Amino acid sequence: MRTTVGIIGAGPAGLLLARLLHNAGIDSVVLESRDRAYVEHRQRAGILEQGTVDVLREAGAGERMDREGLPHDGIELRFDRRRHRVDFPALTGGRSVMVYAQTEVCKDLIALQLKEGGPLLFEAEALAVEGADTDSPRVRFRHEGREDVLECDYVVGCDGFWGVARKAVPAELAQVFARTYPFGWLGILADVPPSHDELVYARHDRGFALLSMRSPFVSRLYLQVPEGTDAQDWSDEEIWDELERRFETDDDWRLERGPITQKSVTPMRSFVHEPMRHGRLFLAGDAAHIVPPTGAKGLNLAVGDVVTFARALIEFRATGDATGLDSYSETCLRRVWQAERFSYAMTTMLHRAPDATPFDDRIQLARLDRITTARSAETDLAEGYTGFPLD
């Protein structure tokens, strides 16, 4: 089997890349180790930056998003029993975000790929990327019980942190930067309308809490918990009680309870692999970088990566100018590190470390107070949250 671009991974990044290439007349093959049902139902991110929304629309994948997604013009910060709304459009010149689950993005892109695009092979396990530093890289994979080889001009690894793509970069050429946080997020899905019409980020002495949503009828909420927590150790009633404590305010706002349909614990870490390119192998998304979910950056960074690659390849094929391809890693990493900075700042401002001192608590409150009283600080948060430009 041969193609121009071999894409490993049918998450939102790999699927969007296939769509962008298809629209530009460039053929690709997508290899996905899981089955279609798994890809379309695995719960991940739910916040799309302005740039991601724009790209999906331009790619012809925004119709259902615009119909069913929830546009959000701000978030609410809670601390010290106070509430403060950050107005995104007023601070960013009109930028906002969209609440639309990653599962739905994948469904939309899969439908388009199967209808109009190149091959999308589910249950096709990539085994190795070979010849990345040659003009003819290839992906060895297993599909329907047989091993096969996908010969490519380029390989893009969108196969996540545990995938095979990053392993093809020689260790002596790589640098890894990482941080593990001593807490995680206990996340729930609940069949109850959201208790607020925008996301609520709460800093509390007992730990962080986040009120989010998946639809007008389904709430998504999170609690900071110690690293290594088992979600099943928390009863439904204990979860709701703790959420109420951490969201408490001095007004009459109330948290609505409902049946919890899913519980899970997400670890918190930061990770960056440099470089993001080796020869004709390009890393994208979690294969190259991970951010803690506080800043809602993971999916959006992956989109930025594949947009950068697609634009560079299109330019090269049209003009012969390989500058964009050659500078792929440098271009992406500038945006990645800004997102890492933003996510780290949000995480350390809102989560209480296990060894936090009264001094640490006051610093957190001072940082939050600064955002509520200084337009420059509030603007920095709004610009970071709605997303750094893709160009």
Q: What is the largest CA-CA distance in the chain?
A: 65
Active site residue 297: yes
Catalytic residue among 201, 278, 292, 351: 201
Residue 355 in tokens: 């060894």
C-beta of residue 53 within 8 angstroms of C-beta of residue 30: no
| Beta carbons within 8 Å of 98's beta carbon, 6+ residues apart | 47, 48, 52, 53, 65, 69, 70, 71, 72
C-beta of residue 186 within 8 angstroms of C-beta of residue 229: yes
- The Cα-based distances of 222 to 205, 231, 239, 244, 351 in angstroms read 15, 11, 9, 12, 12
Active site residue 293: yes
Closest Cα partner for 156 from 292, 257, 280? 280
Catalytic residue among 292, 293, 328, 351: 293
Helix (H, G, I), strand (E, B) or coil at 73: coil
Residue 265 in tokens: 């614990």
| Beta carbons within 8 Å of 44's beta carbon, 6+ residues apart | 11, 101, 102, 103, 298, 299
Catalytic residue among 72, 204, 273, 278: 72
Active site residue 201: yes
Crossing angle of helices 298-319/328-350, nearest 10°?
170
C-beta of residue 43 within 8 angstroms of C-beta of residue 101: yes
Active site residue 385: yes
Active site residue 344: no
Catalytic residue among 278, 297, 328, 351: 297
| Beta carbons within 8 Å of 101's beta carbon, 6+ residues apart | 43, 44, 45, 46, 214
Q: Which residues are catalytic?
A: 72, 201, 293, 297, 385
